[in-house]
Amino acid sequence: MERFDPFLEPAEADAMVRLFETFPGGYGMYVQESPKVGIGQGFLQRHDAALHFFETGGRSGKAVSLETFAARANTLRETYAYDRPVVAGIEPLLSNEKFSEAARRLFGKPIVVPNIVYANVVLPGQELSVHTDVPEFRGASRKHEPEWLLVVMHLSGLFERWRMPIATGVSWYGNCAGGGFYAYPEGIEGAEEQLPPKHNTATLLDTDSVFHGVDLVGEPDVDLPDLQPGIRLRHDGGTRWHVERDGREIAHYDWDDIRLSISWKAYCFADEAERRMVDEHTDDLTHERILATLVEDLRRRGCFRGDVPPDRELGEMLIREYVRFPLQPHVRRPQGGAAGEAKAS
């Protein structure tokens, strides 16, 4: 986990702030549909993280309702680049050489291809519970598979041959209260590292493998507005922002109230042959092969005998068998009983 302080030249960091303020249309909620059929139907996209949150209470150790969890976790996101710039002014970050060089060191792969840059906005009263990011494999991405299943695939270790190494750089702008970034770069039994969201600083790591999260922004027990799909965060000029729904303002904030991070992701390849294998789909996984491999491993581990469990039961079995979270000493141990709530879609 490399750190950069400062990250950009001062003028470039100021330009990122201006880009954030002037992004057309403002910022909406990052919400993804739950699978309606097949394995894990009705699960949340990140059912793994949701189960852990409900069973431990997250960083605070306090149980919350599904509605409260959704409001806290549904942060705001918009894309600045996807293969190429989506908005003018993001080029210095998309092609940032500090991140590219760190990505080469991280994976030992010389070819680094920046793919996406996006802004994450966390409002007072929100947090991101401990999780890993969604990985990709040749033939398997969030376009084809549930996000929690991709996480299971990676943490199972059964699909490393097909894994696409992705380096993630996270940079921060502004000076909000709280919202510290915490991570476990030495593994789930290793020490926790913390980084404040200090203006014009950054880190780069393998977020698909390293568990990490964002502490609560603002003061504890702050009241959140009714955050539902369709809300937008817009800049009013100066230091003022507001959240609106259906054209009506429902909350307002100062610049220092909100937490802004901009994430950079890049694919890393050993050589051009490896890159062509991805582009030409010469060695892709299929959904059937993924499930057959996982089911065979579950059976070998003694997780079930006889017939394969129904889709929903199998999905939860996969999460509990392969997704092991860091042992955070300041949160309560699993008590059971609340996990079923997380199954709501």
b/e map 5-37, b = 16+ CB within 10 Å? eebbeeeebebbeebbbebeebbebeeeebbee
Q: What are phi and psi of 150, to 5 degrees?
A: -65, -40
Quote the pLDDT of residue 35.
59
Q: pLDDT tens, 170-190?
A: 999 999 999 999 999 999 999
Beta-bridged to residue 163, according to DSSP, are: 137
Q: What is the structure's pLDDT at 229? A: 82
Tell me what pLDDT residue 33 has: 58
- DSSP symbol at 137: B
Residue 52: band (very low, low, confident or very high) from pLDDT cuts 50, 70, 90: confident
Model confidence at 31, in pLDDT bands (50, 70, 90)? low
SS3 assignment, position 330: coil
Q: What DSSP string describes 194-262?
A: EE---TTEEEEE-TTTS-EEEPPBSSTTPPPP---TT-EEEEEETTEEEEEETTEEEEEEEGGGSEEEE
Q: What share of the chain is helix, strand, coil (3-state, %, to 5)?
A: 30, 25, 45
Q: For the segment 63-87, what is each residue's pLDDT rounded down to a tens digit? A: 666 666 766 778 899 999 998 999 9
Of all residues in the chain, what percent carry a pLDDT higher than 70? Answer: 90
pLDDT of residue 228: 82
- Provide the residue ranges of all domains of the chain, joining segments of one domain with +: 2-326
Cβ atoms within 10 Å of 104's Cβ, excluding its own: 16
Check pLDDT > 70 for residue 100: yes
2-326 to CATH, choices 3.40.640.10, 2.60.120.620, 2.40.50.220, 2.60.40.1260:
2.60.120.620
Interval 106-135: pLDDT, tens:
999 999 999 999 999 999 989 898 999 999
User: Residue 329 burial (CB < 10 Å; 0-12/13-18/19+)?
Assistant: exposed
Under a CB-based contact definition with an 8 Å cutoff, are residues 80 and 241 in contact?
no
pLDDT of 153 strictly over 50: yes
Q: How many whole angstroms separate alpha carbon 195 and alpha carbon 105?
A: 21
CA atoms within 13 A on the CB side of 190: 11
CA distance 66 to 344: 8
Q: Over 90: is that where the pLDDT of 60 sits?
A: no
Query: Per the structure block, which two tokens stand in for 39?
Result: 């394995």
How long a stretch of residues is the chain?
345
HSE-CB for 3 with a 13 A CA cutoff? 12
Distance CA 273, CA 281 (A): 12
Quote the pLDDT of residue 338: 32
Confidence band, pLDDT 50/70/90 cuts, at residue 40: confident
> Which of 240, 247, 176, 211 shows the shortest CA–CA distance to 325?
211
Average pLDDT, the chain: 89
CA R_g for the chain: 20
> What tokens were used for 116?
């996406």
Interatomic CA distance for residues 73 and 131, integer angstroms: 12
Instruction: Fill in the amino acid letter for 153.
Output: M
pLDDT at 16 over 50: yes
The residue-averaged pLDDT of 212-219 equals 92
224-250: average pLDDT: 92
Predicted confidence (pLDDT) at residue 335 exceeds the cutoff of 50: no
Instruction: Give the pLDDT mean for 235-257.
Output: 95
- The pLDDT score that the predictor gives to residue 215 is 93
Task: State the Cα–Cα distance between residues 86 and 88, nearest whole angstrom.
Answer: 7
Whole-number pLDDT of residue 65: 67
User: What is the pLDDT at residue 320?
Assistant: 95
- 166 with 268: CB under 8 angstroms? yes
Of 158 and 44, the structure prediction assigns the larger pLDDT to: 158
Q: Quote the tokens at residue 242.
A: 């507001």
CA distance 52 to 64: 12
